[in-house]
Copies of this chain bind each other. A is one copy, B any other.
Amino acid sequence: MMHSPPPDLDRVFAALSDPTRRALIERLDAEEELSVSELAAPLAMSLPAVMKHLDVLEKAGLIARQKVGRRVGCRLTAGPMEDAMGWLARYQRFWTESLDRLAAALETKG
């Protein structure tokens, strides 16, 4: 197991702010491991453009790439996603209470 760098929420959230990068994460979640060409195949963009998105995901620690022969395999890495979730979870209390208030308000009206 490699030592993880400290969480960098700036990079993680910035990486997640792009729909192509979120779609790449969704595919890697469904398939576990895919090559760069497999990831690029369904996308309407050039291979270099896809590689740039993968660079951003890798620098944020969201994916890891491993070269085996001529194939570059990509996988999700868990830590940064968990850090982002941990940051948001601190506000779960806040929005759960907001939804409770909304539900209560709707019941009063109903």
Give chain A's interface residues, CB within 8 Å of chain B: 1, 9-14, 16-19, 22, 25-26, 29, 76-79, 81-82, 84-85, 87-92, 94-95, 98-99, 102, 105
Contact = CB atoms under 8 A, between A and B. Distances in A.
A92 to B, nearest CB: 7
Contacts of A17: 9-14, 17
- Chain A binding site: helix, strand, loop or mixed by DSSP? helix
A108 to B, nearest CB: 12
Question: So how many copies of this chain end up in the complex?
Answer: 2
Nearest to A95: B78
A19 B88 CA distance: 14
A81 B16 CA distance: 14
